[in-house]
Amino acid sequence: MAIVEDEYGNQKEQPVERKIYANEYSVSSTEYYNAAVTGLRPEVAFEIYSFEYDGEKKFKYKGKEYNIIRTQGKGEKIIIIGEKVAANG
């Protein structure tokens, strides 16, 4: 997050977008159904280097925004699982 000022001089946090490279994985049926029990809908999974993940809560992929609903550490790499953000209004 970056601190920016609005037109009134108030400071607020603004997300900083950056591009990283990832290996795409399919969400397993077990993962999907286990998450559905708790009301989550995992749609995409990616493996990235652990040093590139800084606790983000969201990411964009192909112009769509996803919430990170789970991460799985795996040594120098981590798998992030995302759920599409519902459209507002």
Per residue in 11-36, pLDDT tens?
888 777 889 999 999 887 777 767 77
What span, in angstroms and rounded, lies between the C-alpha atoms of 20 and 1? Answer: 16
| The predicted structure's pLDDT at residue 89 | 44
Regions of the chain short of the pLDDT cut 70:
1, 33, 87-89
Paired residues of 48 in beta bridges: 78
| The predicted structure's pLDDT at residue 24 | 94
| The predicted structure's pLDDT at residue 59 | 93
Question: Coil, helix or strand for 86?
Answer: coil
